[in-house]
A and B are shown apart, each in its own frame.
Chain A
Amino acid sequence: MDSSERPMRIGVYICHCGLNIAATLDVEELRRFAETLPNVVVARDIQFTCSDAGQNTIKSDIAELKLDAVVVAACSPRLHEPTFRRTITEAGLNQYMLEMANIREQCSWVHMESPALATQKAKDLISMAVAKASLLRPLETESIPVSRDVLVIGGGVAGISAALDLANAGLRVYLVERRPTIGGYMALLTDVFPTNDCSICVLAPKMAEVYANPMIRLMTYSEILAIEGTVGHFRVTGVTKPRYVDPTLCKGCINECSGACPVEVPNEYDFGLGKRKAIYMAIPQSVPLVACIDTNACIGCGLCAEACPADAVKYDQQPEEFKLDVGAIIVATGWQPFDASRKEEYGFGRYRDVVTTLQIERMLNAAGPTRGEIVRPSTGEIARSVAFIQCVGSRDHTVGNPYCSRICCMASLKNAQLIKERYPDADVSIHYIDIRAGGEGYEEFYLRAQRLGINFIRGRVSSVEEGDDGLYIHYEDTFLGKTIMKRYDLVVLSIGLEANRDAEVVGNLLGLSRRPDRFFEIAHPKMRPVEAHIDGVFIAGCASGPKEIQVSIAQGSAAASKAMQLLFKGEIELDPTVAFVDREKCIGCKLCVDTCPSRAISVKDTAFVDEARCKGCGTCAAACPVDAIEMRLFSDEQILAQIRAATAVKGEYPFIVGFLCNWCSYAGADLAGTSRIQYPTNIRIIRVMCAGRVDPSFVLEALRRGADGVLIAGCRIGECHYVKGNLHALQRVEVLRGLLREIGIDPRRLKIAWCAASEGDVLARKIEEFVEELRDLGPVGTELAAALPSGKV
């Protein structure tokens, strides 16, 4: 089988596909043509190659004729490549010794009116496939054993659900939480929409379950310091901060120690409304139920240690480092509230009776600082009139948060209802731009608020002023078209959700990308809602954007099931179609590092590709200035061979070589076929995984060999399967155009286009346009000839 010993032996199978191919293309002639190609030892035409009979023919040829590689000229490889890979494996060939020529979707179906030209195009496609097949190498799929343990970072409701699902399925979980208790924000809320059940009542049992589950190792008051390795084996280092209380001794009685403590500070778990001591329990339902000393507040008087009946206070406790080896990581680091004092015009921090929705949640909480009463902080009296101001820190360019925080309309609807129910005579208004209540049962929740007599006033409040007798807010009632100033006892700012700054270190360690709104970016905005761009890393809950409890839980469970899928077998298969570095050639310039969307490349003297991370897009290979990076499949030499084969005859003018990305534009070209959208025969398409794979040398080679134009097509901007491959392609095209201009070739001969998999028509029209443009330009070299005074080339 080694090609260095003897020439490759290739079999070519041309499919009639009933009449789908044979009605347009002269299959007989294609077969005769294929027989003449180098390395081809057998060529056959078959009625239906994918049928059992067809596959058996291939299998027996492989055995009897000792074939090394197989070319199937039939439908799109996106349809039957897996089928024929299986066929040849069953006959003992390596699955990668297959190449397909797409003569149905990209030939017979799109050129039904021009059988002769289409047959010529099919010949080119077959000879391109044979040229590539001659250079194929067997690739081995490697399996690596993986750790089946999972690290969950963040113990909010999303992290809790992920941890419980994993543990219940039998996987070991490390749950790391930076605060002294798990629960996240949900543990601090009052009743929760859309059913207004008590938040801690539904959450506390889950928190207790986490504590009790033997498969979960809970590490609270802990942080991640370092993460190395890749999917299957992340090596994680973290530290548990000292609480100065021995968790094995603390009984959680808290009144003894904190009763003795003389220091009072604002309680962050009440958002500054209440006070706590330097030794404290975050919430009464804390898990673990262990006290904690705040070293910033502690004056070291030693009274708590004296008071503790269990002798649990240990001033000499040290930080403890831990090391974990996990197969997957779930990031559930949640959100942080918008800092309301940034909207100076609302006076938060200046006027005591301006509070946030989070503070209202605490006030409404029976265990909160006001024991469930809604009071004016300035006087301690019950508030008779309350205004909610929506979109504070959301949908607001002036604070850099143009996005909608999605839950604050519902949170205000809820809190307004709770207030109205407690104080039916209170005047409660919600000042809004739009009420966004788009979830199951949410519109009904809105209706309920309206029926309760809550006022809905449309118009964004522009400012809040404090008067002698209360707060005055300014707004335009946009339905009345009147600007109004109105007095309230209490103003509640419905603050938005922001990306959590506490998660920055973790994000950087993992190399997670961020959206413009600063939340962590998921691998695909619709199709892969809980996967990160990095293999083995999943994101759940508000870490990837504002969302309600129900969706956070769903994402926690989804992330858990993704991690299970990945790790359950205890080993993972590595796709061998990856990049590798020729260390002799590499000059260590690091240009490749940033082009890689999967962060698979590191450079120490020379570059190194982590094959477990590499997704095979090939953008790095195209970026390398010294061609030191190669792809195991879709290699430079294979693609160059395809280009040479394509341009060997040039049976028509203008002649175009096209590079289409597998995921969108190649799929789009297939769709043009299935939709029978007709376009000119002038293009020879080469499939690449990503538009970013197109090396400048491919373009130059095509033009040098006489192609009149080169088309590069990729996914639409923002939709690249590999995040930014299409942008890299665009950048390269711009540079290349400059180069072409310099060497006297019209830069318009290089075209780049974006096309979604659903846009077969778009691609067909682009090809049509390009053919017209090239006709106007004349054959390649016209401009060179014109530039020479003698008119000779």
Chain B
Amino acid sequence: MSEVAFTEEVIRLAGDEIRTCIQCGTCSSSCSTAHLMDNSIRKLVHLVLEGRKSEALASESIWLCTSCLLCTVRCPRGIRPKAVISALRQICEREGSVSRDASFEKIFMDQIRSRGRISEVLLSAAYALRNPDAAVPIMEMGIELLSRGKVSLNAGVVKGMDEIERIFRELGND
């Protein structure tokens, strides 16, 4: 994908308004994980518009978004910065450049999508399978939590799965 094609693809996925970004930083300063990010959401939008694909996709920030949507609610230009993140994640996945955080993210999301909630046990197990070096500490902690009744082995499904499906659709995560 060329630089231009990259910008166009993100715009296609996340909306034409992106072009109107004024780099005001409302999104990044609304973001609850901004302090952990290498590039702020605002900067990601700029990287996208500048066609700086490798920098944008390599940014750990895109895996730190918790989908709280404050950026999207507050952006004065009606941009959906969260949708930009989703678009970048999607392009990453398509191109196979998925980081460890991304694999966790995928397992997490798959569970939410299929059950409407996560099961700590299933989540840790699935993650440990894909990241064996993380398996030991996870298991140690898991046993401790299990013994204190903090995690449960029963993984239920929430009511209103259709609502969950709708939310996924609206966030452009399908």
A-side residues, CB < 8 A to B, are 345, 391, 395-398, 433-434, 459-463, 474-478, 481, 483-484
Contact = CB atoms under 8 A, between A and B. Distances in A.
A476 B28 contact: yes
Interface of B: 22-31, 34-35, 39-40, 42-43, 70, 73-78
Main secondary structure of the interface of A (DSSP, over half): mixed
A461 B24 CA distance: 9
B171 to A, nearest CB: 18
B76 A476 contact: no
A396 B77 CA distance: 6
B76 A483 contact: no
A478 B41 CA distance: 11
A477 B26 CA distance: 10
Nearest to A474: B29
A474 B35 CA distance: 12
Contact of B25 (A345, A391, A398, A460): A460
Contacts of B43: 481
Contact of A483 (B40, B70, B75, B77): B40
Contact of A460 (B26, B31, B34, B40): B26
B42 A478 contact: yes
Given A481-B43, A483-B35, A460 B76 contact: yes
B2 to A, nearest CB: 27
Contacts of A396: 76
Contacts of B34: 476, 483
A434 B22 CA distance: 9
A397 B29 contact: no
A459 B25 contact: yes
A477 to B, nearest CB: 8
**Chain B CB within 10 A, most for which of A475, A481, A483, A484:** A483
A459 B27 CA distance: 10
A462 B43 CA distance: 16
Given A459-B25, A459-B29, A478-B24, A345 B77 contact: no
A459 B23 CA distance: 8
A81 B34 CA distance: 69
Given A433-B24, A483-B40, A462 B29 contact: yes
**Chain B CB within 10 A, most for which of A461, A462, A463, A474:** A462
A463 B25 contact: no
A345 B71 CA distance: 12
* In the A-B complex, the 5 residue pairs with the closest CB atoms: A476-B25, A460-B24, A397-B78, A462-B29, A459-B25
Contacts of B70: 462
A462 B23 contact: no
Nearest to A394: B76
A517 to B, nearest CB: 15
Contacts of B78: 397-398
A460 B71 CA distance: 12
12 contacts: A397-B77, A433-B22, A460-B26, A460-B76, A462-B25, A462-B29, A462-B30, A462-B70, A474-B30, A478-B25, A481-B39, A483-B31
A141 B74 CA distance: 59
A457 to B, nearest CB: 10
Contact of B29 (A391, A398, A434, A461): A461
A476 B40 contact: yes
A460 B23 CA distance: 9
A397 B70 CA distance: 15
Given A463-B30, A483-B35, A475 B25 contact: yes
Contacts of A476: 25, 28-29, 34, 40, 42
A398 B76 CA distance: 6
Contact of A345 (B22, B27, B74, B75): B74
Contacts of B40: 476, 481, 483
Nearest to A463: B30
Contacts of B75: 397-398
Nearest to B24: A460
A308 B77 CA distance: 56
A481 B42 CA distance: 9
B167 to A, nearest CB: 21
Given A462-B27, A463-B30, A484-B29, 18 more contacts: A345-B74, A397-B75, A397-B77, A397-B78, A398-B78, A433-B22, A460-B76, A461-B26, A461-B29, A462-B25, A462-B29, A474-B30, A475-B25, A476-B28, A476-B29, A476-B42, A481-B40, A483-B34
**Chain A CB within 10 A, most for which of B22, B28, B70:** B28
Contacts of B26: 460-462
Contacts of B30: 462-463, 474
A674 to B, nearest CB: 38
Nearest to B23: A478
Contact of B73 (A391, A398, A433): A398
Contact of B74 (A398, A434, A478, A481): A398
